[in-house]
Amino acid sequence: ATSVPSPSGSVPGAAAPFRPLFNDFGPPSMGYVQAMKPPGAQGSQSTYTDLLSVIEEMGKEIRPTYAGSKSAMERLKRGIIHARALVRECLAETERNAR
């Protein structure tokens, strides 16, 4: 009896069907690895600064995406995931500071 490989393939780099690594209902850590900051650190300013830099980088990917660049589209998707998680962090920090 011969074994049948799984549809996703076990070979690294093989084309597999698109499966998102995140959804809109899960925690922000589902889309990327999130660095943990110690409580009381200057987290809010650096998180906000990180968010601004991610948004700036995303802006550079817009035009190539319209031109049909698949790699730019993937970078833009990753940027959106990262930005959404940073927004959640900023909102959580705001909530903590409001108490």
Q: Find the radius of gyration of the CA atoms of the chain.
A: 18
Residue with tokens 């700036």: 56
> What is the pLDDT, as a whole number, of residue 99?
87
> What is the pLDDT, as a whole number, of residue 11?
47
Q: Write the CB contacts of 89 (distance below 8 Å, at least 6 apart in sequence).
A: 28, 34, 43, 47
pTM: 0.56
> What is the pLDDT, as a whole number, of residue 78?
97
Count of C-beta atoms within a 10 Å radius of residue 82: 20
> What is the pLDDT, as a whole number, of residue 45?
83
Give the DSSP H/E element, type plus range, for residue 42: none
pLDDT category of residue 21 using cuts at 50, 70 and 90:
very low
pLDDT tens string 22-75 = 444 444 443 444 444 544 456 668 999 999 999 999 999 999 999 999 999 999
